[in-house]
Structure 1
Amino acid sequence: MKIATAATRSLRIISLPPRVPRAAPHARRQTVLPRSLAAEPERCPVDNSPPSGHPLQPPAARRSAARRGVGPRKCDAARAGVAALTTCGPRRYTGLDLARGRSDPVTPLDYEPTVADFIRTRVERHGDRTLIVHGERRLTYADADARSRELARGLMASGVGKGTRVGVLMPNGPDWVTTWLAASRIGALVVPINTFYKPRELGWVLRHADVATLLGVDRFLSNDYVSRLEDHAPILRTPRGPFLAIEPLPFLRHVWLQGGAPPAWADGSIDDLAAAGATINPGLVAEAERSVAPADPMILIYSSGSTADPKGAVHTHGATLRHAYQLNGFRDIRTDDRVYSPMPFFWVGGFVFVLLSAMHVGACLLTEEAFEPGETLAYLEREQATVVAGWPHYGKAMAAHPDFADRDLSSIRSGNIYDIVPVAMRPRDPELRPTALGMTETCGPHTIE
């Protein structure tokens, strides 16, 4: 082969020896299988590798398995333990099937992935089923749709429309769900706010997110949000005009707070907001819903900010609803489930992996005012929880409580709070239990092992 090159205005011809083609890496070593091993072997559910010693298993994988001590016996135990945690019923493959690269067995979405169409189809299929239980309060899917429509009319009466930033400062419960539904179904961008924020953090997020309308509670546990807002912006204590216009929060125009008597600078309570919607024709809400597309932003959700200021990630209607739906392919959750989780909805784990996950199948959510091991154990027993999801320290606190031995939690059949699930459902080897990695920026889990 000859190559022409330019150098100091002269042309030289360089002759190179002919290139000898190299075998592809996978072709350098061939394994001839006997007839008995020619079929695809049953692969390990832990790392998707062939059984130890099988000729198809690469040497590196065999060495890695030897270092970790994963032999046939441990692999079989892992297979049994993982399968017990991921079985999704006769109409679905397990999450392991999806991880093995098989085509998606879950039926594609049969609705347009917008919040308005999402709640409409939930009502058609599960309207009379309970969506959420919070203490003595119970809200069905049909109730949530009706209440959110009322609030949506009120929001439109106050000037909220497509793209308006609407902050939600509430704990988990029916009010959080209906407020999110109301704002997002008409195209507003919902901004869930951490209920543990102090004055500086609360003010920082409201300003960083350009929140124009704030819906919330006046207090939660020991958190007084009226005082915290006033501490951040003392000008709130001075008389206001028909709407807010203050320098510390330049885009904030309306505040609606549920609880006691609203402060003078607030527009009123959440119930007042719903009542104000009586002036809006219901058809206007329907037209607003039709103008929302899957590609429109639905939620601006912030990270925990444990090492720096929180980071806000915007997720669209389509991305959020599709991702939550696909994650259910890795989970064992059914329509008749009663799902308990203390994970807050203002973070992506509680919102996507708990709330949206349950709503996709028509399950019931169990929420409470605050986590207290003894009271939570009684609540799980009374409400017959079937799925428990949360961080490990919740399970450890409940298992260590004196009432744990006397509570009947036999209704629990799935979940990852392993300290309180039946012994037969716990991973035989804690090191081999399914794990997931996720981020606020990826709308929840992005890697599941």
Structure 2
Amino acid sequence: MEYNLADLFESVVDVVPDREALLYVDHPGTGAERRLTYAQLDAAANRIAHHFADAGLCPGEHLGLHLYNGIEYLQTVLGALKARLVPVNVNYRYVEEELVYLYRDADLAALVFDGEFDERVAAASAQAPALRHVVRVGSAAAPAALEAVPFTEAEASGSPLRGFAPRSADDQFIIYTGGTTGMPKGVMWRQEDLFFSGLGGG
């Protein structure tokens, strides 16, 4: 096993598949709880990973996550890691100018976004020629301004099984800085370095 975040997650799943991995309370909405075991989270991440591969996304391409914290965020990060895509965080407070900059600077090939941001994402994505695959979580706040694959449809289209190619500790994760003194900057992390950085800070 490499010190790859997807490999490490899968090793935990294999040991404690029925242990609860995630509890999410939808405070802004209904307040309803959703719980997933490690096996359920693994299957959900596998589904979205296979969707990305079936959509033609290749290992090493960059996937933006323009989402609130929630199950779909974690599922998408894990799915990206499993498919050897490079996850890129997108601050949900960004306005159009910042989004255009980030989409271009990060060379995003794909984006998963919350439907609440539909208009901003539509305006920015029109100015990001490398962006070719877009997935919407939830519904657009108004009539949709952007053609996107619904997340539920993307999830349903993928297999819940693994079946992925071998991964590497050199696979990357890009984290954008806050941009308090200018535009945000993308910081590239090797997954092994990110893993040991977490251990060192613990």
TM > 0.5 fold call: yes
Residue aligned with 1:117, SS: helix
Partner of 1:226 in structure 2?
Answer: 118
| Same amino acid, percent of matched pairs | 28
Q: Does residue 133 of the first structure (1) align with residue 23 of the second (2)?
A: yes
Note closer, same or farther for the CA distance 1:232–1:181 as it changes in structure 2 (3 Å cut).
Answer: closer
- The CA deviation at 1:229 is 2.3
Q: Does residue 267 of the first structure (1) align with residue 148 of the second (2)?
A: yes
Separation (CA, whole Å) in 2 of partners of 1:267 and 1:327: 39
Work out whether residues 254 and 266 of structure 1, in 8 Å CA contact, stay in contact via their aligned partners in 2.
Answer: no
Residue aligned with 2:8, SS: helix
Separation (CA, whole Å) in 1 of partners of 2:87 and 2:177: 15
Partner of 2:169 in structure 1?
Answer: 294
The one of 319, 326, 333 equivalent to 2:193 is 319
Partner of 1:150 in structure 2?
Answer: 47
- Structure having the larger proportion of residues in strand: 2
Q: Does residue 258 of the first structure (1) align with residue 137 of the second (2)?
A: yes
Residue aligned with 2:12, SS: helix
Work out whether residues 89 and 175 of structure 2, in 8 Å CA contact, stay in contact via their aligned partners in 1.
Answer: yes
Q: Does residue 194 of the first structure (1) align with residue 75 of the second (2)?
A: no
Q: Does residue 184 of the first structure (1) align with residue 81 of the second (2)?
A: yes
Residue aligned with 1:308, SS: coil
Question: What letter corresponds to residue 5 of structure 2 in structure 1?
Answer: V
Once the two structures are superposed, the pairs formed by residues 281-430 of structure 1 within 5 Å of their partners are 282=161, 286-288=163-165, 290=166, 292-297=167-172, 299-328=173-202
- The CA deviation at 1:264 is 6.3
Separation (CA, whole Å) in 2 of partners of 1:229 and 1:180: 19
The one of 92, 103, 114 equivalent to 2:4 is 114
Cα displacement string for residues 242-294 of structure 1 (whole angstroms, at most 9, x for unaligned residues): xxxx5x1010001110111683642321111122325xx95xx5242x1x210
Partner of 2:128 in structure 1?
Answer: 249
| Normalised TM-score (structure 1) | 0.41
Work out whether residues 114 and 185 of structure 1, in 8 Å CA contact, stay in contact via their aligned partners in 2.
Answer: no
Question: What letter corresponds to residue 323 of structure 1 in structure 2?
Answer: S
Separation (CA, whole Å) in 2 of partners of 1:185 and 1:199: 30
Partner of 1:162 in structure 2?
Answer: 59
Aligned residues: 193
Tell me the C-alpha RMSD between the 2 structures: 2.0
Gaps of 5+ in 2: 26-32
Gaps of 5+ in 1: 1-110, 220-224, 234-245, 329-449
Separation (CA, whole Å) in 2 of partners of 1:322 and 1:125: 21
Note closer, same or farther for the CA distance 1:295–1:231 as it changes in structure 2 (3 Å cut).
Answer: closer
The structure that has the greater radius of gyration is: 1
| Normalised TM-score (structure 2) | 0.87
Separation (CA, whole Å) in 1 of partners of 2:124 and 2:133: 16
Residue aligned with 1:212, SS: strand
Work out whether residues 60 and 86 of structure 2, in 8 Å CA contact, stay in contact via their aligned partners in 1.
Answer: yes
Residue aligned with 2:128, SS: coil
Cα displacement string for residues 118-159 of structure 1 (whole angstroms, at most 9, x for unaligned residues): 111111333222222221111222221110001111111101
Work out whether residues 156 and 277 of structure 1, in 8 Å CA contact, stay in contact via their aligned partners in 2.
Answer: no
Work out whether residues 210 and 251 of structure 1, in 8 Å CA contact, stay in contact via their aligned partners in 2.
Answer: yes
